[in-house]
Amino acid sequence: MTDEVHDVVIAGSGMAGLTAAIYAARADLEPLVLEGDEPGGQLTLTTDVENYPGFEDGVEAFELIQETKGQAERFGASYRQLSVEDADLDGRPFTLHLSDGSRLETKAFVVATGASARWVGAENEEILMGNGLSTCATCDGAFHRGDDVLVIGGGDSAMEEAIFLSKFAERVEVVHRREELRASEIMKDRAMDKEEIEFTWNTELLEIYGSEEEGVTGAKLAHHPEGRPKEKLDNPATEEYDVDVGGVFYAIGHDPNTEFLVDTDVVLDDEGYVETLDGRTSETHVDGVFVGGDVTDSFYQQAVTAAGMGCMAAIDAEEWLDELEREEKAEAAAE
């Protein structure tokens, strides 16, 4: 058994988790936030946030996170840099098994664990990740001053990464598997306006060259005139060729962080995102477990939508805890 029983534990410390913490703390629930492997969430992978309401000139992502964290702390939230490895959601209270081997119990559980960057599956990526291969231009872009670099992807993230990298790199080549970008018009235009950025269409990354010691030295690409060349590697129209580059950046979307929920009754969709009970509130299919942010939202994935969903999760958890208390009191009175 564990001594620790909390009213509410929040897993995740991006905008969803931190906003849930503000609301839960202001409701005197003294929430514990398990910050996870990426404290601050996806926002920490970006620099300036220009579309979060209330900041005429934008705000630095790090500052936004720190301020929001402090705001929740002021009302009584506490933090631990641990992740949930496993969750037993059958019993009451719930038991959470944490990354340091400890466990704790909580009456209500808010899942705000976000989504993590996807990997392409190119040869050598395991060895080179962090050694010239990156999923975060903001974190690693400055290492590539004067380099030629590749950005893999065709969505808003790829445009954002390419634009950021154009400040440092000599040439940024966006490699997209089709010939039409998925990115929004404004991001597309911004990227296309930069003379350092070039686009390579209908092309995919097969292999990255280099080593842990020397970093990335090049890459093998495949091109097919009709796109998605990896599905057509035996096709004579598919051309494989090498490029010399000093860095590769993945920007092909995200996967929700829900491994610890796989064996529970929380329902996940085909991509692993948490489904809500009614598509309207933050309630999941397990009574007492609430969800907010990118871990349940594969579409909007914005700081402001995550914050809104974190707020909903905390309000729903508070109401649920109130109802639980009323039931417990009624039961005690009946005995």
Hey, is 28 helix, strand or coil?
A: coil
How far apart, in whole angstroms, are the C-alpha atoms of residue 253 and residue 259?
A: 17
How far apart, in whole angstroms, are the C-alpha atoms of residue 288 and residue 306?
A: 20
How far apart, in whole angstroms, are the C-alpha atoms of residue 299 and residue 252?
A: 14
Residue in this structure with the two tokens 């209500």, named with its chain if needed: 108
Q: Is 139 a catalytic residue?
A: yes
Count of residues in contact with ligand NAP, rule CB under 6 A: 19
Hey, is 324 helix, strand or coil?
A: helix
Comparing CB distances to ligand NAP, the nearer of 38 and 283 is 38
In the bound complex, what is the minimum distance in angstroms from residue 185's beta carbon to ligand NAP? Answer: 11
What residue number has its CB nearest to ligand NAP?
155
In the bound complex, what is the minimum distance in angstroms from residue 162's beta carbon to ligand NAP? Answer: 11
CA proximity to 54, closest of 292, 314, 303: 303
How far apart, in whole angstroms, are the C-alpha atoms of residue 42 and residue 158?
A: 14
Comparing CB distances to ligand NAP, the nearer of 97 and 178 is 178
User: Among residue numbers 145 through 164, which ones bind ligand NAP (CB under 6 A)?
Assistant: 152-158, 160
In the bound complex, what is the minimum distance in angstroms from residue 163's beta carbon to ligand NAP? Answer: 9
- Note the residue count of the chain: 335
What tokens appear for 275 in the block? 């489904």
End-to-end CA distance of the chain: 27
User: Among residue numbers 186 through 205, which ones bind ligand NAP (CB under 6 A)?
Assistant: 187, 204
Q: Which of these is catalytic: 48, 86, 88, 139? A: 139
User: Among residue numbers 254 through 293, which ones bind ligand NAP (CB under 6 A)?
Assistant: 254
Q: Which of these is catalytic: 7, 140, 148, 316? A: 140
Task: Please pick, from the candidates 61, 120, 274, 317, the single residue that binds ligand NAP as defined by CB under 6 A.
Answer: 120
Q: In the complex, which residues of this chain contact ligand NAP (CB under 6 A)? A: 120, 152-158, 160, 177-178, 182, 184, 187, 204, 252-254, 301
Residues belonging to the active site: 136, 139-140
